[in-house]
Structure 1
Amino acid sequence: MSRSSFVTIKDIAEKAGVSVNTVSRALNDKPDINPQTKEKIEKIAQELGYVKNIYATMLKSNVTHTIGVIMPDSSNPFFSEVFKGIDKAARENNYQIIIMNSEGLYENEEKFLKTLLERRVDGILLFPMQKSYEDIQELIKEHFPIVLVGREIDGWNVDEIFSDEVKGGYLATKYLIEKGCKKIKMITDQLYNSASYGRLQGYKKALKEKGLTFSEDDIKICEGIHEGYHVKAGYDKTMEMIRKKEEFDGIFCYNDLIAYGAIKALKENNLKIPQNVSVVGYDDIAFSKLIDPELTTVKVKKFEMGYEAFQMLYKRIKSKKRDNSSTRKVLDIELVVRKS
């Protein structure tokens, strides 16, 4: 153990001939201290190899400079790219991050929220997965700094940042229609959050506008999707449609990973993309321009979502005001046309 580990402010006070309180004020940049005295104390601290006990200071001030991030699927590149934005903003503001992976399970989400509170984080960024939000309600009532990322809850006084999901679903489906598709299926995640509901509403809106008929059977819901399962879910649902000889010439997928699975199934059954079936994904993760054929997809501002989510949380942490006001930010999206 180095010598600096044993140096205390009492050691510095004795050498400087001042009180412990004076040393504390000098090292914590308090204004009520003589500049010459402050300079002298800082010089002695440096000579002795003093290292400030940041953790003790945080406990005393009730600020830990740490936030918690709960995301549903760390294996999904979408969330990794959002996290890059969070991480950059956090580092710029000297914040550390505790990241937890809920695997899309409500019981994990609830448990991790309690864990983060026990670890005294200053605030939490949460990607909520379920329609049951009792765990969040208590935090909101207590005005604890929390921002919901990628999801919205109507009528709640909570800070949120998310994409225009209805527009995304609409643009994807409209594109398929314009490419000549008449029978468009949608393969979606379970309908338990605003993202899946919004994309579905956009899908239905585009079909209705163009006068195309559809039934609930055209909406393929992937039950029990969990971490890392999206590609297989897309594959299984597409294989099921082919086995049942369902009629379709277009598929709108809830995300790019599901689209990868759909494309694999189509290829295995000698269906050409897009000649026989067109496929559109959602998120525009990095791999989507590398697969064959390159995936047409809805581009989400992933890095910006993460970066701005932290900024919203940081503003809430720094605010002295603890009331029922909230900020709601909607990020625009765009369709990226490739070859699928």
Structure 2
Amino acid sequence: MTTLKDIAKAAGVSHATVSRVVNNGPKVGPVLRDKIHKLIIEMGYRPNANARALVTNKSTTIGVVIPDVSDPFFATLANGIDKVSRQQNMQLLISTGSLSAESEREAINLLLERRCETIVIHSKKIADDELITLFKAHPHFVLIDRYIADIKDRCVWLDNNEGGKIAARHLLALKHRQFACITSTFDIDDPKLRLAGFVDELAKANITFDSKNLVSAEPTLQGGEIAAQTLLASGQDFSAIFVYNDAMAIGAISTLEDNGYSVPKDVSIIGFDDVLLARYSRPKLTTLQYPIDLMAQHAAQLALRNSQEPRIATNKLKFIPQLIKRESTSTYFK
């Protein structure tokens, strides 16, 4: 295995000079720096991150805990953190927690075992009290997509309740008065908050949401298809549907179109998240943009700042969804 000493000998320089190049340090001219970089590549040198962390007492990695790497939403989250890690010449470690408290704990512990102390955590199942205790013990942890008052300065979160209200205001402005909702079966706060905001905003317009028009399913394309089938089979009246996420919304559109309904002529549909697929569905999906890429970058920067002394306060912790108007909603004329 090639070492720094081997590179130094080949370059005819000191071990300290090579170390400065590897760690992007100062006091090395461009010509010599290029020479050492070429030798590093030619000789196949690979720095040992764990060994470096032991010597410097500083980790060169930033970790993220997410439920599922295959989900486009969480892939975008991880990519946002990776952008920051690359800017800081750090490596990203991903650990998955699959929406159970036990697996989320295991994912966090796995990163800690690899000397990853700066971690952005997406946790929906670990109890508030446990997370509060955990975060007090680890000042470099940041929680994303969840708000806990006792650690509010370490939470980067989206106001899901306000998102539901924005969706309702949009549909009300389009003259809709009969509504259905498709929500997620997952026992987490996000669907509850979005639905509560939607229903509260309808109440302000003196409209009582009929719970018979609420259907729950898995938050997937197939879940949206099944939920829409259930709504149609119920015989309930509605001209607009507020859907928990974009995947379910696109699945619902497919079922409606298969059953002879035109979207948005017969039924308007609004989703949530603004994933890439929303721009390419037919019709293109009106949705609430969840700025998860921006939030992830902010969370990573906050976690890295918290590793500095003194800690730097930040103001941008709460994000508000933005309405993205496309083709799946229109004015109700009947």
TM range (shorter): 0.7 to 0.9
Q: Over residues 184-240 of structure 1, what are the superposed CA-to-partner deviations in whole Å (9 max), with x where a residue is unaligned?
A: 122122474443233122202210111111144433333xx4xxx511111111111
Kindly provide the amino acid, as one letter, of the partner of residue 337 in structure 1: K
What is the TM-score with the length of structure 2 in the denominator?
0.81
In the TM superposition, what are the counterparts of 1:16-55 in structure 2 within 5 Å?
Answer: 53-55=47-49
Shift of 1:321: 4.9
Label 1:326 to 1:6 Cα distance change in 2 as closer, same or farther (>3 A).
closer
Please report how far the alpha carbon of residue 60 of structure 1 lies from its aligned counterpart in structure 2 after TM superposition: 1.9
1:282 and 2:277 aligned = no
Q: What is the CA RMSD across the aligned residues, in angstroms?
A: 3.3
Task: Return the alpha-carbon distance in structure 2 between the equivalents of residues 46 and 268 of structure 1.
Answer: 63
* Structure 1 unaligned residues grouped into runs of 5+: 17-22, 30-34
Q: How many residues align?
A: 313
The CA distance in 2 between the partners of 1:188 and 1:170, in whole Å, is 15
Structure 2 CA distance, aligned partners of 1:6 and 1:89? 28
Aligned counterpart, 2:53:
58
2:111 is equivalent to residue 123 of structure 1: no
How far is the alpha carbon of 1:117 from its aligned partner?
Answer: 1.2
State yes or no: 1:139 paired with 2:134: yes
Larger Rg: 1
Counterpart AA for 1:8:
K
Deviation at 1:101, TM superposition (A): 2.9
> 1:339 and 1:112, CA in 2 relative to 1: closer, same or farther beyond 3 A?
same
User: Once the 2 structures are TM-superposed, how far is the Cα of residue 333 of structure 1 from its aligned partner?
Assistant: 2.5
Counterparts of 1:128 and 1:46 in 2: how far apart (Å)? 43
Do the aligned partners of residues 239 and 251 (structure 1) sit closer, same or farther apart at CA in structure 2, a change above 3 Å counting?
same
Matched, 1:314 2:304: yes
Q: Structure 1 residue 134: deviation in Å?
A: 5.2
Q: Deviations over 1:274-330 (max 9, x none)?
A: 12211000111111121111111111223211211111111112x23589x887611
Q: Once the 2 structures are TM-superposed, how far is the Cα of residue 337 of structure 1 from its aligned partner?
A: 1.1
State the TM-score, normalized to the length of structure 1: 0.80
Partner amino acid for 2:221? Answer: V
Higher RCO (CA-CA < 8 Å; seq separation 6+): 1
Preserved CA contact (<8 Å) 1:188 1:220: yes
- C-alpha change, 1:46 and 1:263, in structure 2 (3 Å) is closer
Q: Hey, what's the Cα distance between the residues in 2 that align with 1:174 and 1:232?
A: 28
1:153 aligns with 2:148: yes
Pick the aligned partner of 2:72 from 55, 77, 80.
77
Q: Does 1:8 align with 2:24?
A: no
**Among candidates 177, 181, 188, match of residue 186 of structure 1:** 181
Distance 1:202 1:78 in 2: 22
How far is 1:25 from its partner?
A: 6.0
1: CA distance, partners of 2:116 / 2:4: 28
